[in-house]
Structure 1
Amino acid sequence: MKIIKEIYVAAFLSVSVFSYAQDTKMVNRGFNLSVPSEESTAAVSTIYMDASKTSDINPANSLYGRLPGLISLQGSTVAWDNDPTMYVRGLATMGTGTPLVLIDGFERPLSSLSQDEIESVTVLKDAASQALYGVRGANGVILVTTKRGILEGMKVHASYQFGINTPFRLPDMADGYTYALAMNEALRMDGLSALYSNSDLEAFRTGSNPELFPNVNWKDEVLRNKGTTHQFNASFTGGGKNVSYFAAINYIGDNGFMNENYFSPDYSSQMSWDKLSARANLDINATKLTLVKLNLLGELSQHNRPATEYSTLFPMIYDVPAAAFPVKTSTGVWGGDNVRKNPVAESVAKGFSVGNDRALYADLRIIQDLSVLTSGLSAELAIAYDNRASYWDNKTKNYLYESLQPVRDNGGTIIDITRTRYGQETDLSFSSSLGYQNRVTTFEAKVNYEKNWQDMHQLNAAVIYHQEENSLKGINNTYRRQSYIGNASYAYKSKYLADLVLTYSGSSVLGSSDKYAFFPAISAGWVISSEDFMKEVTAIDYLKARASWGITGSDRFAYDYDKYYFKTGISSYFFGDNNNSVSGNGEFRLPNLKLKPETAYKFNFGIDMEVFKRLSLSADVFYEKRTNILVNSSAIYSSVLGVSTPILNDGEVKNYGFEAGLSWRDRIGDFTYMLAGNFTFARNEIVNMDEGYKPYDYLKNTGNRIGQYYGLEAIGFFQDEADIAGSPVQSFSNVVPGDVKYKDQNGDKVIDDYDKVAIGYSTVLPEIMYGFSIGLGYKNVSLKADFQGVANYTLVRNMSSMYRPLVGNKNVSQHYLENRWTPENTNARYPRLTTKQNDNNFRESSIWAENGNFLKLRNVELAYTLPKSWVNKIRLSNINLFARGMNLFSFDHVKDMDPEQMYATYPSFRSYNIGLTLDF
């Protein structure tokens, strides 16, 4: 009942609980299989890109909230590395849970494409559709189909758009004066003397001596308030009697948020990215019975960044106090000290790095009609070769900086400045490195057979052989996979449907004892609307019930779990009279001699429905039991063993839920409108993880969610010494008024790690994902808005300085200051200020758990299509003008940061775009 209630509440909040662009009449394109929609028994969701474009430079980010069953969260926002985190129907493993992405049937990154190249994106969600992929299918499959040519004259499509990006919700840190007040308050709370005198505080407040008492907003000094994006695309579609083609060229230019005021005249350290790609898809009728399909995609890209990695640089912006030192001193030297680095100097004075990415994706497929042998027989051969590489050119240097200390007389008056210099100014030095290299070779062979007799029976069958080698730079980074697949679909009167998949799939990463596993799946469907008793039900245009059961697998884990070997650095030995330690080889982890792939047993029941020729509905319930998950077994063996215990296939997780999608489309005269949405609820539970003994059941991860947040339950703050004396002993550190008070869960009068409990939900992914879209059109004007929301999700507030202030010479945020405990504000959200490493306050607890639910406006578009009578006069077929906004607002519980970016990194952003498309 609790689960049903949660589903109901989330559905109510989402306003529209169903799918955008849900196409229940879907084509299963796995291994180029083509099953008519009315005869498909699989659970799939499809979106067509031409009707769903956004201005995002990565097409994967255009899928937020669009497809039922696809859980998608914002990842990194750096232009060249901004793939979202995606899961299909939640997470059913403690290992790698990311789905398999196939582009035209071959595993490739979705970010390699532009939106203009994509025909459709399909998510395969049940065993009936995933079993085809053997050891690759358990985490779900995303199929991307690119556009192809047409057998008629050439058509040209061109588009350009310009975007302005602005940072979204950057945290506000304390200014110099506020920081000094906070530091004095923290020292007073710690029973220590103040650091800043009244005259010092006045100097911070007035800015009378900015060299010794600076007030630097590092965020504004390092970052500017906007960046720009350019996108250009041109595509050519056409063909003749024997050849059709689709060709496209795409350019993306992104200029980032780095403030250029301090840039060196010799080089740029802007976070910028340029990418150029070109595609050619050819369909060639080599003979009347032979079709050749050739696809080529080439990419060149270059990204520029400061020499200091952005993962290191951006925390500095928030961690260095405004009062620490000036950007530059009066001598023109960078400010700094021997504890903290100058964020501006680190961003511009250490040089820059340039990454050069190159990629070639090529595949050839030959389809041969063999009906001369027997009617309905055909064969296919396909080969693909992909080569991707990244090279880094680094031009780095050192810089001179100085620390300033006031010299005071006996009365505390500043009479001089002591300048201590560090480092030295050097010239740029050059180095280069290979970032990554990835080569993938794929071969497929297939024999198809189709038979239709008496207009009652239809059979589609295929036998497939699949082989691939995926090689990454480094040792033990080459994966080889091989699959033997049989697939058969049968339909009787197009009403009663049955599908069978039998896959025997192997992987080089599996144990030497058995590298293959068997993955069957069976599914059935009933087209109820085709029955005679439904003919009088005119409101229902289409109704189908379907069910599936099957087994899929995953080999997404590293090599050598089944190997027994020695390793350097494991052990150290002592020799001689002085007990000098020498490192040597030691016995490494024990092997798993029965290494297996993860095995997922999946069940699905769903319905597809069309009503009133306007309403489309698809709904599914699903259940998955995942076994053979690799887990560390150290908790179930005694350390007396004397060696690291093996990684075993003992893990087990169950995952279950519900999803639905609905869309309504209608026209009233010149006015058209569309309402659509989707809803996914997926809950997982750890059944076994070799967790070992825990003295209390509430300490166990087993029985809870993957990524469940655990911590102490805060019940307030200590108000005075009497409150402390009358409370259980806090074992982590001595406490004073303003420190966090925790609940004693086991009643032993001591607060320790045995008092941790499950708090909130998973911190890895939400249990509920929903999206809804609204589309309006009147004559040549259209308006569309796409929303995405999540629920049953827990965030952790653990960003240093923002939520862990002052400790370790760190900064303090305005947010923390406004919500901290003081004797005057005892009903606070956060504990008192302190300069000490407070093990009581800053540990996992309900204080730092936040409701992660949010609803975002992901995309809004206003477009105008010029009248045909105007366009035809200049020999064009279409001109469309549009304005788009992305991530314009978010309703959530965080307010001071982006709920999808609760850490210090390159900013997430709002985007405002204008553009036009031309069709010739």
Structure 2
Amino acid sequence: MDLKRYLIRSNININVTNSTEAIVRVHGTFDDYRGPLQGGREMYQAIMRTNPVLFPAVYDADAAHQNTQHTLFGNYGGGNFINPYAELVRGYKEYSESLMLAQFELKQDLGFITEGLRARFLGNTTRNAYFDVRRNSNPFYYEVSDYNPRTDVYELAVLNANEGRTTLDYQEGNKYISSSFYSEAAVMYDTEINEKHGISGLLVGIMRQYLSGNENSLQASLPSRNLGISGRFTYSYDTRYFAEFNFGYNGTERFSEKERFGFFPSAGLAWYASKEEFMQGLSSTITKLKFKATHGLVGNDQIGRPEDRFFYLSNVNLNNADKGYAWGTSGAYDINGVSIDRYANDQITWETATKTNLGFELGLWDKFDIQADFFKEYRTNILMDRLAFSTFGLQANTKANVGEASSKGIDISVDYNAIFKNGMWMTGRGNFTYARGQFEKVEEADYSLTPWLSRVGQPLDQQWGYIAERLFVDDYEVLNSPVQTFGGSEVRGGDIKYRDINGDDKISEQDRVPIGYPTTPEIIYGFGLSAGYKGFDASIFFQGSARSSFWVDAEATAPFINHSWNNDPFADYQKTNQLLQAYADSYWSEANRDIYATWPRLSDYPEPNNTQRNTWFMQNGSFLRLKSAEVGYTLPKNLYEKIGLRDARLYVSGTNLLVFSKFKMWDPEMGGNGLGYPVQRVVNLGIQVSF
């Protein structure tokens, strides 16, 4: 593997006049790569889906192939199984990637008009380009056609004599080209009156454009453009009382002319209480006390699917073969028809959110700094499909801004800094965030008879699934239980038994209920500590999350089946999932009818009954990880001053060293796929020197 990276950076400041400054910035990054056809993650996934005993990576030559010039790669049957070693050495990929940024900025001091007035103009362009090519051979695969156990001699037979070749083929890879342009003009003003009143203002106008050369439709190929103007005005009195007003008047290309621009104001207040006279008696204890509050409206135009770029325009296909028709006595005449992918809707507008934040900052003994913010948000105009028009016979779904959602939470951070008389120092930091969002209004069917199916009042990432009671003991119990039919497969003993929620003696989508926590953690936290004494230093940092659930992927981890990932480079190969130790230790079988085994009845294909979203494979996503730790020692200066060194430090560090979780099968941050690329534990030993 060979990666060469070249960087170019230039900053030029020009003082055009005493009050005018021009700045030109240029940055370029150029990557040239040559390496294996697949990356480390893809090769790991290939290994985890290869039968470890069906064939070796390479055969030693038998008597008939002593003079064969190519490598005798192992395979089986039709030669369509994954051989990871053959995939690793069969060829190589090259890619070239370029990133160029050029920026021009002009600053003008307008103090000759009034003191504190300034102006700025900035223009920036970014150009990206990428392409890759692949050159590879097609390995010759062999299998054992005859074996004599008495003499331990085997004969090999080639499986792909016509397809195999040692010469290289060429394949075009991906190509990405894009450019963006951003410009802004700003006027700023700040002043102080009588050393008591602080006044500042900012007015900014922006224009933004993005163009991609890889789009596959007329609308997507057009440049994306946004523009807007925003402002901020602040006032402070005696550095104790603060007020701020902000606004944004933004325009988007995605909505109709009457909905194109949105106005989004916000305001904030703050009180530096610790600077009041009545707090001075506590100044040695309470070194800082500040209260703050903000309230405002924000807008979002990035809603809907990427292909729904212009909601106010219809998308009509005038040459759709699926909608064509034929005529004539023998049907010899035909013509393509017309289809509608999107109806024009000039009512779609900005998704908006009203945000409120209350917080305080508290300093204690000049060592602790505590910040806490309580936030609340209410979102309206969430874009959703309209169910009310689903029976009108329309060709495409209609959408409207009908959804509403709310969220609230708290964000707390605590910092600690101290230097002791004996020369020891210590710093620490901890943070905690809790956030929960839920739907308040949703376009959905009438669930008055089945309220557990409604999304109203449920978290935004809430999952619905079936309650798994246990595994069926045998086929007789299946026949005497509510009917379970998923994908037309036959449910048998050892499959998962689900609860009949609505009591209709069959398991259907009406029996799905909210299960587990949301898939996004509602609690994120971390804490760390660093300390040093007489040349020694140490640091440690933990991070964790709580109140989340994930689901073991019952298809991706099912033993022995042929499973493919999304965009799987080995999708056309015959694959065999490896057997996880957790499943080998606990699975249902006729000889061991454990109705609470980890894995249900074994099958050589994904069993639809057992791959439904359910509580059987639901897991607690909470964890606490020792993310990093480091111990170092700075050597005495008299050991290296004579050789021109300023500092020298030895250290040992590590990342992802430990994890604490109720889930023990694999690292919880891997989510539901135990056969995926694992989280890496890294340990470093090094020396840092400075001259």
Find the residue that maps to 1:724 and give its secondary structure: helix
Could you tell me which residue of structure 2 aligns to residue 719 of structure 1?
473
Q: CA deviation at 1:420?
A: 4.1
CA gap 1:339/1:731 in 2 versus in 1, 3 angstroms: farther
Partner of 2:633: 864
Determine whether 1:561 maps to 2:311: yes
Matched residues in 2 for 1:296 and 1:872: separation?
39
Given that 2:144 and 2:155 are in contact with CA atoms closer than 8 Å, whether structure 1 keeps it comes out as no
Note closer, same or farther for the CA distance 1:335–1:623 as it changes in structure 2 (3 Å cut): same
Q: Which of these residues, 226, 250, 274, is aligned with residue 505 of structure 1?
A: 250
AA of the residue aligned to 2:396 = S
2:657 corresponds to which of 881, 888, 904: 888
Q: Structure 1: which amino acid aligns with 2:273?
A: I
Q: Which SS does the other structure have where 2:206 is aligned?
A: strand
Shift, 1:604, TM fit: 0.4
Residues 392, 790 of structure 1: CA spacing in aligned structure 2 closer, same or farther, 3 A cutoff? same
| Offset at residue 394 of structure 1 (A) | 1.9
Any residues of structure 2 matched to 1:338-357 within 5 Å, and which? 338=78, 340-345=80-85, 347-357=87-97
Greater RCO (CA < 8 Å, at least 6 residues apart): 1
Q: Deviations over 1:227-248 (max 9, x none)?
A: xxxxxxxxxxxxxxxxxxxxxx
Q: Is the 1:305–1:352 Cα contact (8 Å) retained in structure 2?
A: yes
Q: Which residue of 2 aligns with 1:326?
A: 56
TM-score (norm 2): 0.85
Give the drift of 1:280: 4.5
Partner of 2:342, secondary structure, is coil
Quickly say closer, same or farther: Cα 1:489–1:919, change in 2 above 3 A: farther
SS in 1 for 2:259: coil
Q: Secondary structure at the match of 1:651?
A: strand
Please tell me whether the aligned partners of residues 606 and 621 of structure 1 are also in contact (alpha carbons under 8 angstroms). yes
Give the strand-richer structure, 1 or 2: 2
**Of the candidates 535, 544, 549, which is equivalent to residue 794 of structure 1?**
549
Q: How far apart are the structure 2 equivalents of 1:356 and 1:775?
A: 42
Matching of residue 755 in structure 1 with residue 511 in structure 2? yes
Matched residue type, 1:563: L
What does 1:778-793 correspond to in 2, within 5 Å? 778-793=533-548
- The amino acid across from 1:909 in the alignment is Q
Maintained 8 Å contact 1:744/1:755: yes
Match 1:674 to one of 400, 409, 427: 427
- Between the aligned partners of 2:39 and 2:633, the Cα distance in structure 1 is 43
Distance 1:636 1:917, change over 3 A: farther
**Structure 1 residues 392 and 362, CA gap change in structure 2 (3 angstroms):** same
- What residue is the counterpart of 1:386 in the other structure? 126
| Alignment counterpart, residue 630 of structure 1, candidates 383, 386, 409 | 383
The alignment partner of 1:536 has SS state of helix
Q: Answer whether contact 1:821 1:830 (CA < 8 A) is retained.
A: yes
Kindly indicate whether residue 209 of structure 2 is the aligned counterpart of residue 469 of structure 1. Answer: yes
Identity %: 26
Q: How does 1:113-152 map to 2 (within 5 A)?
A: none
Tell me, yes or no, if the aligned pair for 1:377 and 1:447 is still in contact at 8 Å: yes
Q: Against the structure 1 CA distance between its residues 689 and 337, is the aligned structure 2 distance closer, same or farther, given a 3 Å change threshold?
A: farther
8 Å Cα contact 1:572-1:581 kept in structure 2? no
Q: Deviations over 1:715-759 (max 9, x none)?
A: 111113453344222233433221111111111121122111111
Q: Is the 8 A contact 1:329 1:335 kept in 2?
A: no
State the AA in 2 paired with 1:560: F
Aligned to 1:540: 286
**1:7-86 equivalences in 2 (<5 Å):** none
8 Å contact 1:805–1:813 — kept in the other structure?
no
1:876 Cα deviation after fit: 4.4
Matched, 1:575 2:342: no
Taking structure 1 as reference, are residues 655 and 304 closer, same or farther at Cα in structure 2, changes over 3 Å only? farther
Question: Once the 2 structures are TM-superposed, how far is the Cα of residue 509 of structure 1 from its aligned partner?
Answer: 3.0
> Is the alpha carbon distance of 1:674 and 1:839 closer, same or farther for their aligned partners in structure 2, counting shifts above 3 Å?
same
Separation in structure 1 between the aligned mates of residue 337 and residue 42 of structure 2, nearest angstrom:
33
Instruction: State the one-letter code of the partner of 2:322.
Output: S
Q: Deviations over 1:519-538 (max 9, x none)?
A: 11100101111111111113
| Unaligned segments of structure 1, at least 5 residues | 1-269, 409-413
Say whether the 8 Å CA contact 1:830–1:847 is kept in structure 2.
Answer: no
Separation in 1, partners of 2:377, 2:209: 29
**Change beyond 3 A, Cα 1:659–1:383:** same
C-alpha contact 1:404 1:420 (8 A) present in aligned 2: no
**Where do 1:358-373 residues align within 5 Å?**
358-373=98-113
Q: Deviations over 1:410-455 (max 9, x none)?
A: xxxx999876436321521234455322322111111111121122
CA contact (8 A) 1:319 1:801 kept: no
Counterparts of 1:521-536 in structure 2, within 5 Å, are: 521-536=266-281
2:69 corresponding residue in structure 1: none
Higher-helix-fraction structure = 1
Query: Corresponding residue for 1:648?
Result: 400
Question: Structure 1 residue 821 and structure 2 residue 588: aligned?
Answer: yes
1:490 matches 2:247:
no
Does the 8 Å contact 1:801/1:813 carry over to 2? Answer: no
Counterpart amino acid of residue 378 in structure 1: R
- Cross-structure match for 2:65: none
Q: In structure 1, what is the equivalent of residue 498 of structure 2?
A: 742
Aligned residue number for residue 707 of structure 1:
461
- Does the CA contact (< 8 Å) of 1:479 and 1:507 recur in 2? no
Residues of 2 paired with 1:556 and 1:305: CA distance? 37
SS of structure 2 residue aligned to 1:323? coil
When residues 297 and 862 of structure 1 are mapped into structure 2, their CA distance, relative to the original with a 3 A threshold, is farther
- Contact 2:559 2:580 survives alignment (8 Å): no
* 1:230-249 equivalence runs, <5 A: none
- Matches of 2:510 and 2:332 in 1, distance apart? 39
Please, which runs of 5 or more residues in structure 2 have no aligned partner? 62-71, 564-574
Contact 1:523 1:546 in 2 (8 A): yes
What CA RMSD, in Å, does the superposition of the two structures yield over aligned residues?
3.0
Please state how far the C-alpha of 1:542 moved relative to its aligned partner.
0.8
CA distance in 1, matches of 2:494, 2:445: 37
Mean CA deviation greater in 799-808 or 575-584? 575-584
- For 1:618 and 1:652, the matched residues in 2 are separated by 30
Which of 656, 666, 669 in structure 2 is aligned with 1:897?
666
Summarize the alignment of residues 91-110 of structure 1 with structure 2, pairs less than 5 Å apart: none
In the superposition, relative to structure 1, how do residues 722 and 629 fare at CA in structure 2: closer, same or farther (>3 Å)? same
Answer with 787-796 or 296-305: which moved more.
296-305
- Give the superposition deviation at 1:776: 1.2
- Equivalent residue of 2:669, what SS? coil
1:610 aligns with 2:381: no
Q: Which amino acid aligns with 1:525?
A: A
